Structure 1
Amino acid sequence: MPSQASGPPGSSGSPASFAAADPAAATAESVESARRRTAWAEGLDRLRAAATTEPGRLRAIGAVLALLVVVFGAATAWQVTDRSAAADDVVLRSQPLTVDAASIFRSLADADTTAAGGFLAGGTESAATRQRYEADLATASQLLVRAAASAQVPGAADGAADRTGKQIARLNALLPRYTGLIETARTNNRQGLPLGGAYLRYANGLMRTELLPAAQALYEAETERLAADQARATAWPWCALVAGVVALGALGWAQRRHYRRTNRVLNRGLLVATVASVAVLLWLTVGHAVARAGLIDAYEHGTRSLQALNTARIDALRARADENLTLVARGAVLTADQKDFYEVDFQTKMGHLAGAAGAGPVSAAGELGKALALVDDEAGRQAVRDAVAAAGQWRTRHAAARAADDRGAYDQALAQVIGGSGSTGASFDRVDTGLGRALVHEQARFRATADGGRAALSLLAAGAAVLAAGAATAAVLGVGRRLSEYR
C-alpha cells in the first residue's frame, strides 16, 4: 500500500527542498551573500593597499605621527597641571597649616607657662600676663577652626585628614577643662588657699599629658600631609618624558625615511613638528627641574629649619613652665628616685634645647644647635645666636635661683625667677624673642624660594598643549605634501 505524504505536495523539511521549491528565493539569497563577501573583500583590499602601497603607508605614518605628538602634549599638560597643583598645595595649604599646627602647640605651651608665672605672682599678677594668657588661648582656638576647615579640603590625604579631625576634636573637648582648672587655681590663690597650687599642678598635668600630645599629633599629621604634597610636586613626569622621546624618535624616523626615498633633505611640515616637539620636551625638562630644585631648596633650607626652630621654641616654653612649677610645687611632686619632678623635667627640656650641661651654652646635640646649622642666612643665624646666648644666661641664672631655694631663701629665688631684667624670666623672653624672629625670617625665605620654583610651571601646561597641537598639524601637513605627489 503506498505511503501518504506528510506535507503539501512538493515540500519537505530540508533547506534543499525549499530551494528546489523556490528557485527565485535561492537566487536572491546567493546574490546577497555575494554582495556581502564583495564588501568585506573590498575592505581587506583597501587595508592591503594601505599596507603595501606608498600612499597608504604615508597616510598611516601621518596618522601615527599626529597621534604620538598629541599624546605627548596631553601627557605633558596633565602631569604638569598635577605638579603645579601639588606645588600650590605645598605653598598655599600644607606648609602654612603645618606652621599653624606648630603655633597651636606653642600657644598652648605658652598659655600654660604664662598661667604658672601669673600664679607665682599671686595677687600682683599683671594685666599684661593675663592678656598674654587669654591671647594664647584665643590664638589656639582660631587656629583649630582653620585646621578643621583644612581637613575637609578635597584631595587631602585621607589618613592625615582623619588624624587631624580626631586631634582637633580632642583638643576642643579638653581645652575648656583646662581653662576651668586654671580659673579655679587662680580663685583659690587670690584667696590665699593652698588648694590653688594643687589645681594648677592638675591643670599642668592635663596640659602635658593630654593637650600637648594631641597638639603634637596634629602637627605630625600636617607634616605628613606636607611631605606627601612635596613628594607629588617634585616627582619627575616620566609619562610625559617617555611620550616625548617616543614622538621625537618617530618624527626622526619619518624624516630619515623621507630622505632615503626622495633624496630631499627637509620636509617642512615634519621639521616644524620636530622643532615644536623638541621645544616642548626641553621646556618640560628644564621647567620641571627648576621648579623641583626650588621646592627642594625651600624644604631643605626652609621647612627643616622651621621644624627645628619650632621644636626649640616649644622646649623653651616647657622648660619655663617646669621652672615656674618647681616653685609652685616646692617639692610636692617627686620622681621615683625622690627628686623634684619639675626640676628634673626642666633639666631634660634644657638639655633638648641647648645640649648637655657643661658642653657650653649650646652644642650640636641641642635643638638650638640644629637650628643654627640649618639656618644658612646671616640674618636668621644672628637671631638664633641671640637665642643661644640667652639660653646660656638662662641656665646660669636658673642654677643661682635653685641654690637660693635649696637654702630656704624662697623669696630670693622667686625674685630671680619672675623678677625684672636679671631674672630667668627675662632670659627666657630673650630666647623666645630670638626664636620668634628666626621663625619669621625662615618662613619668608621658604615662601620666596618656593614661589620661585612653582613659577617655573606657570605657563608650561598651556604652552605644551598649543605647541603639541601645532606639531601634530605640521606633521599631517608634511605628510600631505608628500601624498600630493601621487595625485
Structure 2
Amino acid sequence: MAITSRAPAPGGVSAPSGPPAPPPDGLPRRGTAWAEGVERLRAAATTEPGRLRIVGAALAALVLLFGAVAVWEISGRVTAADDVVGRSQPLSADAASIYRSLADADTASSSGFLAGGNEPREVRSRYEKDIANASRLLVNAAASTTAGDDSRKQITLLSEQLPRYAGLIEQARATNKQGLPLGGAYLRYANEQMSTQLLPAAQRLYEAETGRLYTDYDEARALPLASLGAGLLALAALLWAQRRNYRRTNRVFNHGLVAATTASLVLLLWLAAGHTVARSGLSEARTDGQESLKVLNDARIASLQARANENLTLVSRGAVLAEDKKSDKYDVDFSNDMKDLDAGLATAAKLADDTAGRDPVARAAEGVRQWKGLHAAARQTDLTGDYQGAVGQVIGDKDHPKPTGTAFDTVDASLEEAVLHEQREFTRAARDGLGALDGLVTGTAALAVVGAVAALLGIGRRLSEYR
C-alpha cells in the first residue's frame, strides 16, 4: 500500500487529513450549487444528446410563442371587427338617425304651423314620431357609452334640451291656433334652439361615434406583424433543425420535425389568408358602405334643413334678416342647403357601385330639380304679395295639388331608400370580413400545441438512438 506523506505542520505537528475547513465566519460558500449546475449544463451542451435537448426545447418554445402571439393579435382583431359590426357602426347609424329625426321634427313643426288651425294629422303624427324616435335612440346611446366620453356629454345636452324644444313647439302651436302673431315668434325661437343647440350636439355625437367606428376599423385591419414575424422565425428554426439533422444522420426527413413545420406553415398561411380576406371585407364595408352612408346622411340632413328653412321663410315673413341686413335669412339658408344637397347627391352617385344604389340617388336628384322650380315659383308668388298663394304652393291646397312638399317627399323617400341599401351593403361586407376570422383563434392555439409537441417528439426520436 502506498503511503502518502504530508508535510508537518508548524511546530512539528502533522496537519489532520479530511475536507478543508469552513470559512472563518462559519458561513457556507455562496454560489457553489449554482456554479455546479451551470457546469453540468455546459458539460451536457458539449454532447450531442445535450445539444438535442436544447434544440428541442428552443423549437417548442418558438412554436408556442408563435401561437401565443397569434392568438393575442387575432383576438384583438376579432374583437375590433365584432365591434364594427355590432357596436360602433350601429351607434354611428343611431347618431345619424337622431340628427335626422330632430331635423325632420323641425321641418314637420314648421309645416304644421303654416297650416294654422287645420294642421294635417299626418304632419302632426310625423312630428310626434320624430320626437319619440330621437328620445328612444338617446336612451339606447346612453346605455352604450361610458362616463367621461364626449358622446355622454352630447347625449346629456340633447336629453335636457329636447323637452324644452318640444315645449316651445307646443306653445307656438297653441298660440297659432288662437290666431295670435306671437306663435311665429315661439316657432322661430324653437328653431333657433334646434339650430344652435340640438342639431350641433347631434352632429358632435355623430362625429364622436363615427370616430370610434373608424378607430375600430383601423384596429381590425391592422396587420398582425408580430405574429407573422414570430411565425417566420419559428419556421426558420424548424428548417434549420431539419437541415442539421440531415447533415448529422443523412436522413432526409424527421417525421416529428416535418409535422411541426407543416403545422407552423399551415398556421402562418391561415393567419395571412384570413387576415387578408378580413381586411378586404372591412375595406369594402368602409369604402362602399360607410362612406356612402355618410354622404347620404349629410345629403338627407341638408334636404330636411332646406325644407325647414323654406317653411320658416313664410313663417318669419322677412322678420329675420341675413348678415347683409337685406336678404331673408331663411331664404339664404335654403339656397345654401340646396347647394350642399346638390354636392352630396353628386358624390353619392359616384360612390354608388350598383344599380340598386344609383337609381334612388338619381330619383332624388330629379326631385331636387323639380323642388327648385316649384320653390322659385312659390317665392315669386310671396314677393308679389300673395302670401296665401305662396303657402299653398309650399304645403299644398285645393288650388295647388303639387306643392314643393311633394318634391321634398320624393327626395326624402329616395334618400331613405339609398341609405337602407348602403346599410345592407355595409352589414354584408363587414360580416364577410368578420367571418374570415371565424375559428382562427381556436385553430391557432391547436396548431401551435400540435407543432410544439411534434417538435419535441421529433427530437425525442433522435435522443432515443443514444440510449
TM class by shorter chain equals over 0.9
Q: Determine the C-alpha separation between the residues in 1 that align with 2:441 and 2:161.
A: 47
Quick one: which of 339, 347, 364 aligns to 1:351?
Answer: 339
Give TM-score, length-normalised by structure 2: 0.93
Evaluate the alpha carbon distance shift between residue 268 and residue 402 of structure 1 in structure 2; reply closer, same or farther with a 3 A threshold: same
Residue 259 (structure 1) aligned to one of 239, 246, 249: 246
- Aligned AA for 2:22? E
Q: Percent identity?
A: 58
Q: For each residue in 1:214-260, what CA deviation from the matched residue of structure 2 results, as whole angstroms up to 9, or x when unmatched?
A: 00000000011001000000001111110000000000100011111
Matched, 1:309 2:296: yes
Q: Is the 8 A contact 1:50 1:60 kept in 2?
A: no
Does structure 2 retain, via aligned residues, the 8 Å contact 1:301–1:446? Answer: yes
Give the CA RMSD over aligned residues: 2.0
Counterpart for residue 332 of structure 1: 319
Match of 1:398 among 371, 375, 385: 375
Q: Which residue is equivalent to 1:175?
A: 162
On the 8 A contact 1:101/1:219 being kept in 2, the answer is: yes
Q: Residues 122 and 189 of structure 1 are in contact (CA less than 8 Å); yes or no, is this contact kept in structure 2?
A: yes
1:148 lines up with 2:138 in the alignment: no
**Equivalences for residues 39-438 of structure 1 within 5 A:** 39-40=33-34, 42-152=36-146, 162-337=149-324, 338-354=326-342, 366-419=343-396, 421-438=401-418
Aligned partner of 1:484 in structure 2 is 464
Distance (Å, rounded) in 2 between the aligned partners of 1:425 and 1:383? 18
Distance 2:291 2:302 in 1: 17
SS at match of 1:29: coil
CA distance in 2, matches of 1:403, 1:271: 85
Q: Distance in 1 between matches of 2:29 and 2:81?
A: 62
Q: Deviations over 1:103-145 (max 9, x none)?
A: 0000000000000000000011011111110110000000001
What is the CA–CA distance in structure 2 between the aligned matches of 1:44 and 1:306, rounded to whole Å? Answer: 66
What one-letter code is carried by the residue in structure 1 that aligns with 2:145? Answer: A
In structure 2, the partner of 1:5 is none
Alignment of 1:3-14 (within 5 A): none
- Give the alignment partner of residue 447 of structure 2, picking from 457, 461, 467: 467
Determine whether 1:452 maps to 2:409.
no
Instruction: State the shift of 1:46 in Å.
Output: 1.4
Letter in 2 for 1:225: R
Note the alpha carbon deviations across 1:287-346, whole angstroms, 9 max, x for none.
Answer: 000001000110000000000000000000000000000000111111132111100000
Is the CA contact 1:164–1:222 (under 8 Å) kept in the aligned structure 2?
yes
Shift in alpha-carbon separation, 1:218–1:41, aligned structure 2, 3 A: closer
For the Cα contact (< 8 Å) 1:291–1:457, is it kept in 2? yes
Is the Cα–Cα contact under 8 Å of residues 185 and 197 in structure 1 kept in the other structure?
yes
Moved more, 190-199 or 403-412: 403-412
Q: Distance in 2 between matches of 1:34 and 1:136?
A: 86
Q: Which residue of 2 aligns with 1:155?
A: none
Q: CA deviation at 1:29?
A: 3.2
1:151 and 1:165 in contact (8 A); partners too: yes
Counterpart code for 1:223: T
Give, as a single letter, the amino acid of the residue that structure 2 aligns with 1:387: A
Query: Which amino acid in structure 1 is aligned with residue 104 of structure 2?
Result: D
Q: 1:37 to 1:25 in 2, by over 3 A?
A: farther
Aligned match for 2:22, one of 19, 29, 34: 29
Deviation at 1:411, TM superposition (A): 1.5
Deviation, 1:36, is: 7.7
Number of aligned positions between the proteins:
448
Shift of residue 50 of structure 1?
A: 2.6
Q: Which runs of 5+ in 2 are unaligned?
A: 1-12
How far apart are the structure 2 equivalents of 1:388 and 1:53?
Answer: 83
Report deviation, 1:38. Answer: 6.8
CA displacement at 1:44 relative to structure 2? 3.2
Secondary structure of 2:179's aligned partner: coil
C-alpha contact (below 8 Å) 1:94/1:229 kept by paired residues: yes
What is the match of residue 4 of structure 2? none
Output the CA distance in 1 between the equivalents of 2:105 and 2:28: 94
**Cα distance 1:68–1:117, how it changes in 2: closer, same or farther (>3 A)?**
same
Cα distance change on mapping 1:38 and 1:99 into 2, 3 Å: closer
Distance 2:83 2:193 in 1: 34
Q: Distance in 2 between matches of 1:399 and 1:376?
A: 34
| CA deviation map 1:425-457 (0-9, x unaligned) | 000000000000011111011101111111010
Paired amino acid for 1:327: L
Give 1:195 shift. Answer: 0.4
